[in-house]
Amino acid sequence: MTLTGSGVASGTRGRRQPQLLRVFGPIDLRMRVALGVAGVASVFALWLVGAAAFAGGSLIPTPGATWTAFWDQWHTTLRGDLAASSYRILVGYTISVAIGIVLGMAMGAMRSVEAFFEPPMGFLRYIPATALVPVFLLLLGIDETPKIWLIVVGTVFFNILMMADAARAVPRELVNAAYTLGAGQWTVLRRVVFRHSVPGIVDAARVNLAAAWLMLVVAELLAANNGLGFGVERAHRFHAFPAMFALLMVFGIIGLVSDLLLRALRGRLAPWAEG
């Protein structure tokens, strides 16, 4: 069977493509909201089925039991744990993103910097940062410093490489036009390469933020007396599964809110990249 251009065209016209399944097809706001609500409802439905299937809710608590445990912890330890974990993430991940922007922009824009840094980066990023926890504890003690640096080491290489890719994607026509108009090296980096890379920088930070929380939980499980990860371990130790699931829900809510805020930041900083 052969397909001709006219045959494909006529076949496409003869079959109406479903709007929801059309590749890159648009959907209106009402449909997007409805699909989002349906997705959330399906998660809760699976949760209820799992709670009923595994020992009647003793291993997997119901959403109601989890909600009750959340409020119980909110009035006791949750606010302090949330503040401690948020501080560690804020400091550690800010350092990681700052290093990622500086080195990423330099590696993406300058071949000499790329040639020097990319081989060691390619090696170091495959070393599991979690395996360095004992080393950090021995060298840096048991206070906040090793937890913060585990977040930095566990995310910085991925931030650097992803942000370097964003810099490499800058159209050469823009760079050449800036040089033609008399811009210097620093001006091109700051006003052309960096500004065009802003959407990619924010996207990299948004994706790797999940890894930062993973590093934090590992650090708090091994060497902490507060924090959300410590709270999960504490609940697990005493078989308080509703409390443990409540903390897991807190992680999910934090991730969702962070993702929405970074998406909004991307739209504010680079409205020309939306679409």
Q: How far apart, in whole angstroms, are the C-alpha atoms of residue 261 and residue 205?
A: 12
pLDDT at 104: 93
- Any idea which residue has 């009647």 for tokens? 56
Q: Is 56 left (phi over 0), alpha (psi -120 to 50) or beta?
A: left
- Per-domain boundaries in the chain: 77-270
Query: Tens of pLDDT along 172-192?
Result: 888 888 888 888 888 888 888
Q: Assign a CATH topology to domain 77-270.
A: MetI-like fold (1.10.3720)
Residues 34-73: tens digit of each pLDDT = 888 888 889 888 888 887 777 555 678 888 888 999 999 9
Q: What is the percentage of the chain residues whose pLDDT exceeds 90?
A: 35
Query: How confident is residue 17, by pLDDT bands cut at 50, 70 and 90?
Result: low
8 A C-beta contact, residue 62 and residue 51: yes
What is the SS3 assignment for 110?
coil
Q: What is the CA radius of gyration of the chain?
A: 24
Quote the crossing angle between the two packed helices 194-222 and 228-237, to the nearest 10°. Answer: 30
Q: How buried is 219 (Cβ within 10 angstroms: 0-12 exposed, 13-18 middle, 19+ buried)?
A: buried
Q: Which two tokens stand for residue 246?
A: 């409540």
So what's the pLDDT on residue 58?
66
Q: Does residue 212 or residue 267 have the better pLDDT? A: 212
CB contact at 8 A, 221 and 232: yes
Q: Write down the residue that tokens 């008399």 correspond to.
A: 182
d(CA 149, CA 206): 19
Give the pLDDT score at 201.
94
| Residues 199/273, Cβ–Cβ less than 8 Å | yes
**CA distances to 55, 172, 178 from 184, in Å:** 69, 15, 8
**pLDDT score for 118:** 87
- Residue 9 pLDDT: 47
pLDDT tens digits for range 67-126: 999 999 999 989 999 999 999 999 999 999 999 999 999 999 899 999 999 888 888 888
Q: What is the pLDDT of residue 1?
A: 46
